[in-house]
Amino acid sequence: MVKLTIGYLGESYNGWQIQPEYPHVKTIQNELQKALKILTKEDIKVLGAGRTDAGVSALGQVASFYTKSSIPHDRYPTALNGILPEDIVVYKAEAVQNDFHPIKDAKGKWYRYHIYTGGFPHIFYNKMSHHIPHKLDIQVMSEAASLLQGEHDFRSFCVAKTSKKDFVRNIKRCQITVQKSFVFLDIYGDGFLYNMVRIIAGTLILIGKGKLSLLDIPEIIDAKDRAMAGPTAPAKGLCLVRVDYEIKENLFCNVESLDMPLLFY
């Protein structure tokens, strides 16, 4: 079994997951599987740690696949990057046990949502951040973010139509930071519901605009009603930063320790 660490720009893709009913739709999984078939001459299924939505990017997506190929695992990044589109990059490949499962074995995930508050769209980052052309109340957004930490039923922060039965998730850290005109929402948890991070982002943005109050957060959580929370923030602002397979004490590590390009850091 081979484990990959992958980064990609989500703009041109309809998410991670292959959609059999739409075979011509571009997805990250399909591009990886096509590249692996060229290398190994095998029909390989790649399993990802997170089914990122259309338009969502990643710095540290994790995927695994089984192959009978004799290609050394450390050769896969260079070989795959020579085949893949330039907006998908394999940073690392490791040999793991055959029972490794990128979803079930994950202990935590770190997502970052990017907001740009400059007066006009940023020419370099507009395709990977949500542009809000005015200042937000960062202090109240930070206080509201902290109220989302802990184990809660996040039904209000999940799409209304879902087959999920269990909506309880443990958010270990939820925080707002600012660098000049960029506002970052960092969320670390043991798992996330469909669109959960983007709905949290949309809700905190309303709080930052003064359209919701700090006191609304407990009420939204208790309501277990999607209609009570804010809108789903645009997909382009979201990035899967890291997937952990060991318990981390420092959930948001120094970004310099991430051995990959740090576009927004």
**Catalytic annotation, pick one of 53, 105, 216, 244:** 53
Question: Hey, what amino acid is at 128?
Answer: M
193/130 Cα distance (integer angstroms): 21
Contact call for residues 173 and 149 (beta carbons, < 8 A) = yes
Angle between helices 216-223 and 138-147 (to 10 degrees): 40
Q: Token match 């095998």: residue?
A: 42
- Cα 174 to the center of its chain, rounded Å: 14
Q: Which residues of 222-238 are buried (b: 16+ CB within 10 A; e: fewer)?
A: eeeebebbbebbbbbbb
Q: At what angle do helices 216-223 and 196-208 cross, to 10 degrees?
A: 150
53 classed as catalytic: yes
Q: Please name which of 263, 118, 246, 88 lies closest in space to residue 182, comparing C-alpha atoms.
A: 118
| CA–CA dist 134, 236 (Å, integer) | 19
What backbone torsions phi and psi does residue 74 show, to the nearest 5 degrees? -75, -5
Rounded distance between C-alpha atoms, residue 52 and residue 15, angstroms: 5
Task: Name residue 40's beta-bridge partners.
Answer: none
Residues forming the active site? 53
